[in-house]
Amino acid sequence: MSGLPPQARVTTTVYQGNVLLTGEVPDDATRQAASAAASSVSGARHIWNETRTGFPVSAGQKVNDTWLASDIRARLLLNRNTRLADIKVVTENNEVFLMGLVTPEEGQRVADLVSRISGVAHVTTAWTFTQIPAQTPPAG
């Protein structure tokens, strides 16, 4: 993200106009600047700024986060009640951020499943909720 100090490490993930910011920033002013920069992008509907104040995570932690995200995706893929194509998984320092287009029930089910996976410290959801249309009973 341009315009931020070099010690800031901010990752941007976008899903259907929702923008998730993760990473580390040196101070609250930089955190606010990241939100402002994301808000100025055309089409950004909602900004979820989940950056943390502190030093960037280590290379070892990045590897662990990549492994954790892969483990989560594999479990969601194997779960018959989950449409993985509609869900984005982002990990940062053992925190898991979930984005996607789900029903409220699906969102709760996925968040519960992910929160029980070993290595997950915290789950934050940034869902876009959809409702399944009510089915009309057959005539007759």
- Check residue 139 and give its pLDDT: 61
CA distance 117 to 121: 9
CA distance 7 to 91: 20
Q: What is the CATH number of the domain that holds 89?
A: 3.30.1340.30
Same-domain status, 63 and 114: yes
The number of domains in the chain is 2
Give, for all 140 residues of the chain, the pLDDT tens digit: 678 999 999 999 999 999 999 999 999 999 999 999 999 999 999 999 999 999 999 999 999 999 999 999 999 999 988 888 889 999 999 999 999 999 999 999 999 999 999 999 999 999 999 876 544 556 65
CA distance 95 to 73: 15
Same-domain status, 84 and 39: no
- Check residue 138 and give its pLDDT: 62
- Check residue 83 and give its pLDDT: 84
Secondary element (H or E) of residue 77: helix 59-78
At 19-34, the pLDDT tens digits run: 999 999 999 999 999 9
- Check residue 90 and give its pLDDT: 98
Same-domain status, 49 and 63: no
Question: Tokens for 76?
Answer: 């969601």
Same-domain status, 69 and 118: yes
Question: Is residue 112 in a domain?
Answer: yes
Q: Supply the range of the domain harboring residue 41.
A: 9-53
Question: Is residue 82 in a domain?
Answer: yes
- Check residue 62 and give its pLDDT: 96
* 19: CB partners within 8 A, 6+ apart: 12, 13, 38, 41, 44, 46, 47, 48
